[in-house]
């Protein structure tokens, strides 16, 4: 009786099936990590914008230019970011200049409605939502003067 060397077809099929299952699990985990990364990227960008707004408000208060705080509402919130943060996405045209809602993924600012929006690359990361939006909220002091700004999410 002659001994067979190497893998039989059945053994080869079993090894392929195991690799297929492992590859599926790995790809599923990579998609989940990519979605978590996009959610974190959006959260950090909004935090950085809010920090930039606070710095701009603080600068005007320190210079005694409190009357100029209200003018920050008209500023593009993406201008409060460092130029190196997501510069490629920030360069997309805003909805006001396009005449229609932007279809590209990334950040957009509509000057007419003063709405900052983000179109996700992966909708599943945001419960299937096609677009996320924020708007400036102005805080006033007891005298009715603008004392601060921040971005608030729109539902």
Threshold 0.75, pTM exceeds: no
> Residue 16 has what pLDDT?
96
Paired strand residues for 140? 146
Residue 14: how many CA atoms within 13 Å on its side-chain side?
A: 5
153-154-155 Cα angle (round to 5):
120
Strands (E), the chain: 106-110, 115-119, 132-140, 146-154
> Residue 149 has what pLDDT?
83
Paired strand residues for 107? 118
Beta-carbon contacts of 53 under 8 Å, excluding residues fewer than 6 positions away, are 72, 77, 80, 148, 149, 150, 151
> What residue segments make up the domains of the chain, in order of their start?
9-154
Looking at the chain, the number of H-run helices and the number of E-run strands are 3, 4
> Residue 14 has what pLDDT?
95
Task: Sheet with 106-110: list strands edge to edge.
Answer: 106-110, 115-119, 132-140, 146-154
pLDDT, tens only, 105-119:
799 988 888 899 999
């Amino acid at each position: 009786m002659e001994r067979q060397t190497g893998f039989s077809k059945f053994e080869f099929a079993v090894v392929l099936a195991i690799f297929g299952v492992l590859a599926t699990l790995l790809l599923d985990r990579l998609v989940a990590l990519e979605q978590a990364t996009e959610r974190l990227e959006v959260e950090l960008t909004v935090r950085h914008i809010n920090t930039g707004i606070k710095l701009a408000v603080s600068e005007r208060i320190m210079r005694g230019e409190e009357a100029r705080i209200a003018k920050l509402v008209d500023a593009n919130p993406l201008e409060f970011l460092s130029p190196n943060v997501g510069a490629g996405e920030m360069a997309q045209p805003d909805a006001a200049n396009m005449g229609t809602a932007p279809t590209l993924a990334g950040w957009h600012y509509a000057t007419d409605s003063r709405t900052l929006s983000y179109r996700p690359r992966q909708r599943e990361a945001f419960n299937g939502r096609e677009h996320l939006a924020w708007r400036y909220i102005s805080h006033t002091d007891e005298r009715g003067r603008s004392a601060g700004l921040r971005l608030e999410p729109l539902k």
